[in-house]
Amino acid sequence: MIEFLRKLWEVDSLAPHGICLLWRPELIWTHVVSDTLIALAYFSIPGALATFVSRRPDVVFGWMFWSFAVFITACGATHLLAIWTLWVPDYGVEALVKAVTALASVATAIALWKLLPQALALPSPTQLRRANEELQARILERDRALAALEQATAEQQRTEALLRQSQKMEAIGQLTGGVAHDFNNLLNVVLANLERVERRLAPDHPLLAPVRDAMTGAERAAAVTHKLLAFARKQPLSPVNSDVNGLIGAFAELLRGTIGRQIRLETDLAPGLPPVHIDPNQFENAILNLAVNARDAMPKGGVLTLATRALRPEEGAGLAGGPAAEGLVVEVRDTGAGMSPEVAARAFEPFFTTKPLGQGTGLGLSQVFGFTQQSGGSAVIVIGPQGGTTVRLLFPARPAPAPVQAGKPAETPAALPGGLSWAAT
């Protein structure tokens, strides 16, 4: 083996390859330039492969790229030796380099043929593009499903909030109605006895003034119980078929004197509205309560609008007669600062008020709410996007049904866009 290697390194008996070319310059330099360019290309290709594999560790069969790099580098070395042997007959070294190149090429070829089935099983760029498009479609479908789920969840939470508010108002109504009814009976006894005492006292009797003051206080307490009974839908009503536009037109002058000069009163009454079965006096009281609240919400002046229009089908869901019921809507709109959703959610509760102490009992809106419910209608508060508040009173055109029994809730009215509605209590 050592003798074999020694003979490979012997160059004394060998002639350089240039002699075979008769040292013709055109042949010598053609070989030199060609082999140089081939060697440079062979050396640059492994560098590119090594850079690619190093920066893309996710590439499948990366080791195969390194095998090609070794094989091509060995090929480049053989071309450099071809230039060297033109002048120096180191054919033994050239033979060893070629042997290494042969081993690398055979190993690479065998590995490549074994790898070919696995390489063919890899997805093509077209298949990857289609898979990517399918994945994007599924992601879009998932996003739509998530959006629909979020919308359904929000709607469920909104429905649950309305249900809780309905149950809360029902409980308050039952408690308020029971207490107000019993308290009203007691006040009737007190007033009756005070009237008997007043009739028996002489005009100059020193107890006459205190008795009359007691009667005045009892009458005010009776007025409060009347409002509580209105909220609980237990007040006696005298409903008749009424022209709402006519009632508002006749009542407008009284409202102008009530709201003051700083507030301009406007009316927008739709013609041809059907008559509704309501108590005219209680209707006027409801409009008066809403006008007073609107006045207090506009201390620096503004516009108060009383409007009427026909009932839309989607608004009749919670009214007597169902979604197909005909009727009308009375709107009381102001241009005040408006109210927050939290305040609007509790506005119809008895004794709830945002006014300073001593400036409101908190029974005005609750009385309006009870009157509309007892009349088979509904009340809705709509918060304006630019401020202001609108209270909508919805009444069915059909005759009102039999009075609702105490504690029996009415159907929850459908909430209008931008508004808050409550079930009957």
pLDDT tens-digit map of 303-333: 999 999 998 877 776 676 555 568 899 999 9
Q: How is residue 203 written in tokens? A: 């005009």
For 380-394, write each residue's pLDDT tens digit: 888 877 778 999 999
* Residue 109 three-state SS: helix
Domain segments of the chain as ranges: 2-121, 160-421
pLDDT at 176 over 70: no
Strands 302-310 and 240-242: unpaired
Mean pLDDT, the chain, integer? 78
Q: Which of 8-12, 346-350, 417-421 has the highest mean pLDDT?
A: 346-350
Distance CA 259, CA 248 (A): 15
* Nearest-angstrom CA–CA distance, 394 and 371: 11
Give the best-scoring range by mean pLDDT among 98-112, 177-191, 392-406: 98-112
Q: How far is CA 57 from the centre of its chain?
A: 43
pLDDT value of position 139: 93
Q: Which of 143-152, 235-244, 312-321, 331-340 has the lowest mean pLDDT?
A: 312-321
Would the pLDDT of 423 be above 50?
Answer: no
Strands 327-334 and 302-310: antiparallel
Q: Which fold, 160-421?
A: Heat Shock Protein 90 (3.30.565)
Report the 10 Å Cβ neighbour count for 400: 19
Mean pLDDT along residues 337-355: 76
pLDDT at 419 over 50: no
Work out the burial of residue 18: count CB atoms within 10 Å of its CB; fewer than 13 is exposed, 13-18 middle, 19 or more buried: middle
Residue with the bigger pLDDT between 229 and 81: it is 81
Residue 354, pLDDT score: 65
Cβ-contact 101, 75 below 8 angstroms: yes
In this predicted structure, the answer to whether residue 64 has a pLDDT above a threshold of 60 is yes
**394, β-bridge pairs:** 329, 378
Q: What percent of the chain lies above the pLDDT cut of 90?
A: 15
Bridge-based pairing of strands 263-269 and 302-310 is parallel
Query: Among candidates 337, 254, 235, which has minimal Cα distance to 294?
Result: 337
Task: Average the pLDDT over each of 209-223, 267-281, 390-404 and give the range with the smallest value.
Answer: 390-404
Nearest-angstrom CA–CA distance, 72 and 42: 6
**For 103-114, what is the mean pLDDT?**
86
- pLDDT for 343 equals 81
- Give the residue-averaged pLDDT of 197-202: 80
Q: Is the pLDDT of residue 142 over 70?
A: yes
* Cβ within 8 Å of residue 97, ≥6 positions away: 74, 77, 78, 81
pLDDT one-digit tens code per residue, 7-55 = 666 767 788 888 888 889 999 999 999 999 999 998 998 888 888 888 8
Q: What residue type is assigned to position 123 of the chain?
A: P
Distance of CA 400 to the CA centre of its chain: 39
Provide the pLDDT for residue 362.
62
Q: How many CA atoms lie within 13 A of 135 on its CB side?
A: 6
Provide the pLDDT for residue 379: 87
Contact between residue 333 and residue 388 where contact means Cβ atoms under 8 Å apart:
yes
Do residues 76 and 37 touch, judged by C-beta distance below 8 A? no
Q: Residue 242 in contact with residue 281, Cβ under 8 Å?
A: no
Q: Against a cut of 0.75, is the pTM above it?
A: no
Give CA–CA dist 110/54, Å, rounded.
Answer: 24
- Note the pLDDT tens digit of each residue in 275-289: 988 888 888 888 888
Residue 412: CB atoms within 10 A of its CB come to 19
What's the confidence (pLDDT) of residue 209?
82
Identify the H or E element spanning 228.
helix 208-231
pLDDT at 400: 45
Q: What is the mean pLDDT of residues 87-103?
A: 87
Q: What is the mean pLDDT of residues 210-226?
A: 74
pLDDT level of residue 408 (50, 70, 90 thresholds): very low
Six-digit token string for 173? 């109504």
| Separation of alpha carbons 205 and 189, rounded Å | 23
